[in-house]
Amino acid sequence: MIKDSIGKTGHARLSALVTTVVTGVALAVSASPAVAQRIGDLLGSAKKVAQAASVTDEQMVSYFSQMSDEMDRQNRIAPPTNPYAVRLTKLTAGLPSYDGLDLDFKAYLVSDVNAFAIGDGTVRVYAGLMDKFTDDEVRCVIGHEIGHVKLQHGQKRLRRALQQDAALSVAGSASSGARRITSSELGGLIQNVLSAQHSQAAETASDDYALNFMAAKGYAQQACPAAMDKLAALGGGGGIGLLKTHPDPAQRAKRMRARMKS
């Protein structure tokens, strides 16, 4: 289960902020319309932050599921008998879940060298990646992407997006739970959560997670730096999704090898 990283102290501070702004609006009733508008904007911003902070685990999973559905709508999914789907099923055998996360694997019939995982357990692997990588190299990429989920990297991005966008900061009603997000809103979320580059610290942590994943499942750890070597060699070509969203693979390969020896 995804954990809310805001905590009681954060909620208390957000509540205090909203209370302070409400008081300010009350004092400004007789002020000029421009001042009242600025205070009203501040109140709206405070409410957005408070609403985003109050999104529950279940609502977060619902938002991720909507993003997954949109990505599946945009990309051609390999049917069960397709060679890519058959291969993905074989190389993920015995992996219905990992580290408490139930996993849903599908292959995209897309030539990009890419893969992603998100907080509802969705894992998508592109045909272009499978064309270039061995089974264990694909597994390492999967482990790295699961690492982003379990280390809360995507969840933190989603929460920031909810804080920044008034339309997305509405968590839902008691009767409906997390509301449905429009296609146009989902496009922005996907760009902010799935398609943007993680920090160097996040990538390093996910690389370490991938190495531990490989060891825990009995897969060949050396496939991880080997995969980075391939990415480095592919760097001059176009359509390399993993190079757009991840840092220099040559340096990552060097660091992985050093860590494996330690």
Query: Which are the catalytic amino acids?
Result: 145
Please, are residues 115 and 143 in contact by the beta-carbon 8 Å criterion? no
> Cβ(91)–Cβ(137) under 8 Å?
no
Report the alpha-carbon distance of residue 186 to residue 182 in Å, rounded. 6
Query: Which residue, among 129, 80, 87, has the nearest Cα to 230 in the 3D structure?
Result: 129
Report d(CA 219, CA 201) in Å as an integer. Answer: 25
Residue 171, number of CB atoms within 10 A of its CB: 19
Using a 10 angstrom Cβ sphere, with 0-12 exposed, 13-18 middle and 19 or more buried, the burial of residue 7 is exposed
Structure tokens at 262: 């330690």
